[in-house]
Structure formats: structure tokens, C-alpha cells
Amino acid sequence: MTPNQYKSIEVLGSQMAYVEAGSGPAVLFQHGNPTSSYLWRNVIPHVAPHARCIAPDLIGMGRSDKPEISYTVEEQARYFDALLDALNLQDVVLVLHDWGSALGLDWARRHEERVRGLVLMEFMLPIPTWRDIDPQGAATFKEFRSANGRKLLIDENRFIEQVLPASILRKLTDEEMAAYRAPFLEPSSREPVYRFPNEIPIAGEPVNVWAMAEAYQAWLLETHIPKLFFSVDPGALIPPKRAAWLRERLKECTAVDLGPGRHYVQEDHADAIGQQIAAWLSRLN
């Protein structure tokens, strides 16, 4: 993104940054952990000729302020809700990934009248048991949730240095890695990156996030809001078996198989994602 595309708005006493490009119907692109609006840099150019594209940086991430808060999912949701109100987004299409999907789907469940469509990729649903995660991933995230987690994620910055590049098929360039590192150069800035993996809803824990995810999953399976669903193989949050289950159950859903991919699918399939979103938007009423 070019610097002149970045804007900011006051939200709950802090400045939250966002990228804005194009004009027309609102489309909000929401990243998760440990990324920022930078994740969408190669997707948005395909959509901006057809819509007003807005890509926020979550509080504590990207170019947004880093207030001294807990960065729990409940806190993130409070800022996310306030941001969408501050931007006065109505009749919005939500393009959601990773933790951005948890925040976005929770908001959409509570504000269905303001949602025009949902675009989903590698998104967060409740995970019934640890056995439903691949063994290597389960071991990694159990370690992140252990007493050693703060050392790994805050002192050693493992999510940026190891998990992120390992979850992309191609090799990120030095410039791209520098962009992802930039918001988290100091250990004191890494609290959001630590908090998110500790709150993934797995086997009923943590109770509050599990309840939130169960509620928006039930809503998602019932709502007739139009959906565009991208899947990859082997994926991470949405492996092929779960993708097939979703394709059978999601109503008013267009499903697109992007082919090989892990988690940060925007880094391997940006052009395809952007082109498919643009085409799908043209068909929305």
C-alpha cells in the first residue's frame, strides 16, 4: 500500500489506522494474527475499481496505536465494534481471515441488517478437540499456551519469524518480512501476537471465546446472507474435510478451491482471490 492510502480514525481514545481505496459499495478487509492491512496489498487492487475498499489494522497491530490494554479477544471486539461504528459502515461486505473472521462474524451476527455479504478464507470456527488440529500444529500451539509461551512469542517473536513464513507456500522477500516485522520490533509491542493464540477456541476453552465462536458458527450456518468461500489444501484452520463440510451446509454460498495453500492464502493466491471477489461482487443484488 502506498503511504497516501493510509488513514486513521479515533476509536475509544486511540487512533486506528486503515487503508482506503476505490469508491462505491463498502468492502471491509479484516486481517488476523500477526498481520495487518499489508496482507491485502495485492488483493485490493482487483476490487478497488468496483468498491470502496477499507482494510483496518486491528488495535495494537499494523499502524494502529498500541494502548496499554489486555488485547484479549473481548478487548479486540470492543475496538472492532467501535471502529465499524466510527466508519459508519452500512450494507457492508466483510472479507475475513484468521482472527479477523472471529471479530467480523461475531459483529455480523449482532448486526445482520448492516451486512451485504461475507467472504471467508481460512477462518476461525470452534475446534472440537486438539485431535482436530494436525499434530505438528497442535504441539506448536500447546507450547504457545504453556508457561513458556511468553518467552517464545514475546521474547523470541516466533509467530513472525517462524509461524508466518511456514504458513505460506512461497518464500517471502526480505522487504515483505520487514513489513510484517515492522509493527512488532520491540518485545513490548507483541502482546496482541501473544494473546491471540492463547484464545483460539479449542475443546471449550477459553469459555468466553468458545461461546462467541459457537454462537457465530450457528448463525453462519443459518443465515442466507450471500457468501464467497475460499479453500486451500491442506489449509490450517479449514482443512479439506472441514471445507467439504462447509460447502454442504453454508447457504447462498459460492465456493472456490484455490488449490495448494496453507494459512496466509493472500500471499500465494492474491490475484485469484481479488479477481473472484470482484466478479462475485458484480453478481450481488
Residue 97 lies inside a defined structural domain of this protein: yes
Q: What is the pLDDT of residue 1?
A: 55
Residue 99 lies in a domain: yes
Question: Into how many domains does the chain fold?
Answer: 1
Instruction: Give the tens place of pLDDT for each residue, 42-69.
Output: 999 999 999 999 999 999 999 999 999 9
Does residue 147 lie in a domain region? no
Residue 121 lies in a domain: yes
- Indicate which CATH number applies to the domain containing 119: 3.40.50.1820
Grouping H, G, I as helix, E, B as strand and the rest as coil, residue 259 is strand
pLDDT at 5: 78
User: What's this model's pTM, rounded to 2 decimal places?
Assistant: 0.97
Give per-residue pLDDT as tens, 212-243.
Answer: 999 999 999 999 999 999 999 999 999 999 99
Structural domain includes residue 195 = no
pLDDT, residue 2, reads 58
CB 277 within 8 A of CB 47: yes
In a domain, 221, yes or no: yes
**What is d(CA 230, CA 91) in angstroms, rounded to the nearest whole number?**
22
pLDDT at 118 exceeding the cut of 60: yes
Confidence of residue 135 (pLDDT cuts 50, 70, 90): confident
> Which structural domain, as residue segments, surrounds residue 29?
3-127+204-283
31 in a structural domain: yes
Helix (H) or strand (E) holding 281, with range, is helix 270-283
Q: 145-198: per-residue pLDDT in tens? A: 999 999 999 999 999 999 999 999 999 999 999 999 999 999 999 999 999 999
Beta-bridge partners for 94: 28, 118
Is residue 13 in a domain?
yes
pLDDT at 210 over 60: yes
Give the pLDDT score at 136: 87
Buried b / exposed e across 41-55, counting CB within 10 Å, b at 16+?
bbbbbbbbebbbbbb
The DSSP bridge pattern shows strands 14-21 and 52-56 to be: antiparallel
Catalytic residues: 98, 122, 263
